[in-house]
Structure 1
Amino acid sequence: MKKTFLYVLISTFMFSSMEIALKSVQGVFSPIQLNLIRFFIGGLVLIPVVMKNGKQTLLTSKWKSLGVFLLTGFLCVVVSMTLFQLAIMYDEASTVAVLFSCNPVFALLFAFFILREKISRLGFISLVLSIIGLLVIVNPANLTNPLGISLALGSALTFGLYSIVSRWGSQVTGQNGLATTCYTFLAGSVELLILVSITNISAVANYMNKVEWLKPFANTPIIHNISMNYFWILLFICVCVTGGGFAFYFLAMERAGVSIASIVFFIKPGLAPILAMILLGEKITINTWIGIVIILIGSVITFIGSQMEQKNAALEE
């Protein structure tokens, strides 16, 4: 149990510091470039863990699984995490962290509409509280940064969709959660590399520079500013936050189940803003604090509901 607690603790810190670490290199690396680097290296970091942690290997993956990983990679790395990187560029790290932590709410809705999974009473209460918390933080009556908030919510929504598609993909491919995540990172990195390479074609870059919203993506660099000057921060982002965070999360899940591992995302909405306030000096508004508390209450209800479902399932068996 001590080892499980350690896994959860490490994963919680890594995920809660993610937005802060990414914000700290803003202006040094292109958002798309950093996205590509961290998920490619993060995927490589996960390979040894996947190999050691079970019989799931790259060699046993069937060709039909490639389509699944390309789909999950596109949803996670290319779409969701690109929106996430852009959100951090346009908004406070604390706000992005809280809004992104609500991705389980969207996953719950997608599970209901796509997989036809029923929403329990406690799950519904948690869903309502999370939506109220989001509205309190976003404050639609007085939007100060609609672009940043829209990007963060778009990232959370598409990550929620990725979570459901990934669950389906695990059933199709026969891979466990850790292996699916590893191959998703690598497949998504390859897709993103192709897209980045296309933006560096002269004709394409010239066209993108003529379109206002495409200008930031023209001539996206790949290795620019990768040097010893930024070695330690890149090591932390790629190896610790991206690769290590997911590795410890899934190790905790395999030892103690989903409900215990999910504590990571229940703590993140409260811890990440505090870290952003201490390390980045970000000011957190009163409505954001109120929204965080409401979302945390909703997370606790989700945890209780998950525990009750597991006990009921055990009794039925």
Structure 2
Amino acid sequence: MKKAYLYIAISTLMFSSMEIALKMAGGAFNPIQLNLIRFFIGAVVLLPFALRALKQTGRKLVSADWRLFALTGLVCVIVSMSLYQLAITVDQASTVAVLFSCNPVFALLFSYLILRERMGRANLISVIISVIGLLIIVNPAHLTNGLGLLLAIGSAVTFGLYSIISRYGSIKRGLNGLTMTCFTFFAGAFELLILAWITKIPAIAASLKSVGLSQFSAIPILVNVNMNYFWLLFFIGVCVTGGGFAFYFLAMEQTDVSTASLVFFIKPGLAPILAALILHEQILWTTIVGIVVILIGSVVTFVGNRFRERGNTIGQTAAESVKAVEDADTEATHAAHAVSNQEN
């Protein structure tokens, strides 16, 4: 259990420093280029773990799996993470971190709307509290950076959608979360590479520039990928993107899902503190209040999940006990019949 909490601590630190590292790299790299690089590196880091998981289950990837990865890669890497990366370039890292951390709220809504899953009382309360926290941070009456907020919320919404597609697909295809994540990253990076090549076509590059989308015009691929930025790219790709997910899944193997999910419940509180210390970002009082409200919503979800898992465990234990008693009764009956037959 001590090892599990160490994994959770490392994963939390990695995920909470993500926006800070990406903000620091923003001046040297195109946002879409950085997205491509970090997810490719992250996929390479996760690959040994994914291959081990496939080997343990005797599973081989088929064309249907790759179609699923193409879809999840599109939603996660190209749409959600591109919006996320753009949000970081135009808004504070602390604000983006908190807003993006609300993606489980949208995942709950999508699971209810798409998968028709029942939303428990704790989850419903958590959704309401988290939405209130979001509104406090966004502060519609005094919007100062509407574009950044819109991009960050769009990223959170689409990542919530990705989570549901990934969960549904992994259950249907019999793939664990780590394998899904690894090959989603590979597929998304490959799709992003194709798009980057397309934006280099002169006519397309000129068209994108003419409508004010210069960041999407002639997207660079290897510009500034050199020793000057080695440690920054190493931290973003290996430690944050690859390591953060790797330690999260390792924690999940050592403990239960709700305990491992502490990573995402701590992030909204820790990320703004790190941003204030490292980037010297000023955090508005409304953002602080919103963070506290969102953390309360996270606690409600966490406690609700713990009670549900405990209830499932108790129910399973009770069912096993009943089955054991029934089996014992059956054996006793068979033994009695056997003795009776011998006497006859």
Q: Which residue does the alignment assign to 2:151?
A: 151
Residue type at the aligned position of 1:74:
L
Whose radius of gyration is greater, 1 or 2? 2
State the distance in 2 between where 1:115 and 1:204 align.
Answer: 38
State the distance in 2 between where 1:58 and 1:48 align.
Answer: 15
State the distance in 2 between where 1:66 and 1:129 align.
Answer: 38
Runs of 4+ residues over 2 Å off in structure 1: 51-59
Deviates more, 1:50-59 or 1:125-134: 50-59
State the distance in 1 between where 2:223 and 2:58 align.
Answer: 31
State the distance in 1 between where 2:131 and 2:31 align.
Answer: 28
- How much does 1:56 deviate? 5.9
For the pair 1:16 / 2:37, whether they are aligned, the reply is no
Q: Which residue does the alignment assign to 2:248?
A: 249
Residue type at the aligned position of 1:254:
E
Deviations 1:220-248 (A, max 9, x none): 10000111000001000000000000011
Q: Which residue does the alignment assign to 1:217?
A: 216
Q: 1:41 to 1:58 in 2, by over 3 A?
A: farther
- How much does 1:293 deviate? 0.4
Q: 1:224 to 1:150 in 2, by over 3 A?
A: same
The Cα RMSD (Å) is 1.2
The TM-score, its normalising length taken from structure 1, stands at 0.98
Residue type at the aligned position of 1:88:
I
- How much does 1:192 deviate? 0.5
- Are the aligned partners of 2:100 and 2:156 in contact in 1 as well (CA < 8 Å)? yes
Q: Which residue does the alignment assign to 2:313?
A: 314
State the distance in 2 between where 1:228 and 1:285 align.
Answer: 37
Deviates more, 1:57-66 or 1:298-307: 57-66
Superposed, 1:150-229 pairs within 5 Å as: 150-212=150-212, 214-229=213-228
- How much does 1:111 deviate? 0.4
The TM-score, its normalising length taken from structure 2, stands at 0.90
- How much does 1:128 deviate? 0.7
Q: Which residue does the alignment assign to 1:25?
A: 25
State the distance in 1 between where 2:44 and 2:57 align.
Answer: 13
- What 5-or-longer segments of structure 1 have no aligned partner? none
- Are the aligned partners of 1:100 and 1:156 in contact in 2 as well (CA < 8 Å)? yes
- Are the aligned partners of 1:50 and 1:56 in contact in 2 as well (CA < 8 Å)? no
Q: Secondary structure at the match of 1:55?
A: helix
Q: Which residue does the alignment assign to 1:302?
A: 301
State the distance in 1 between where 2:65 and 2:58 align.
Answer: 11
Residue type at the aligned position of 1:154:
G
For the pair 1:79 / 2:79, whether they are aligned, the reply is yes
Identity of aligned residues (%): 61
Q: Secondary structure at the match of 1:219?
A: coil
Q: How many residues align?
A: 316
Deviations 1:121-154 (A, max 9, x none): 1111111110000000000010000000000000
- What 5-or-longer segments of structure 2 have no aligned partner? 317-344
